[in-house]
Amino acid sequence: MGSLKLYFAGSIRGGRNDAELYARLIEKLQKYGTVLTEHVGSDSKTEELRKELEYNDEYIHKRDMEWLESCDALIAEVTQPSIGVGYEVGRAYAMKKLILCLYRPHEGAKRISAMISGAVNGENFFVKNYQESEIDGIFEEFLSKIK
């Protein structure tokens, strides 16, 4: 299973509060294959994310859509609301990709969008409320669905 292409989505311009969490999730996903979007977990002080923020919007959109089309699955951390992440999830849904949206319910957290929770179908679109300590089992179960 180590040769999968995985697309990780997390907030970049919508807020970087969870960047360290994204980095830990990406590191766990890398045991299953290549995370095409590993820059999402980069600290804003790193060269990788600074360079990413210098690209023009058209370049980023084209590149990310190519990555999305080529991926085996999309894993999105949706606790931090982000228009970009919602867009990526919607595009992946239209492409009939295998999708996992991760949400950490906690005090003061906004509710997950009905457009995400209402799309769950038990076949290729899943939403999991989680704590970070549960993530290994969640990834194992989800990624075993890839045929």
Determine the distance from the C-alpha atom of residue 141 to the mean position of all C-alpha atoms in its chain, rounded to a whole number.
16
Binding residues, as ranges, are 22, 88, 113-115
- List all residues 6 or more positions away from 36 whose beta carbon is below 8 Å from its beta carbon: 5, 6, 7, 8, 67, 70, 71
pLDDT tens track for 56-114: 889 999 999 999 999 999 999 999 989 999 999 999 999 999 999 999 998 777 889 99
Binding residues for substrate, as ranges, are 22, 88, 113-115
Residue 119 has pLDDT above 60, yes or no: yes
- Quick one: CA torsion of 89, 64, 27, 20, rounded to 10 degrees? -80
Q: For residues 145 and 89, what is the distance between their CA atoms, to the nearest angstrom? A: 18
Over residues 134-147, mean pLDDT:
94
In what helix (H) or strand (E) does residue 87 lie, and over which residues does it extend?
A: helix 83-94
Q: For residues 21 and 121, what is the distance between their CA atoms, to the nearest angstrom? A: 27
CATH number for 4-143: choose from 3.40.50.450, 3.40.190.10, 3.30.70.100, 3.40.50.300: 3.40.50.450
Residue 77 is predicted with a pLDDT of 97
pLDDT tens track for 3-44: 999 999 998 877 778 889 999 999 999 999 999 999 888 776
Provide the token pair at 48.
């990788």
Give all strands (DSSP E) within the chain, no chain letters.
4-9, 33-35, 73-77, 98-103, 125-129
| Backbone phi, psi, residue 4, to 5° | -70, 155
Name the 3-class secondary structure at 98.
strand
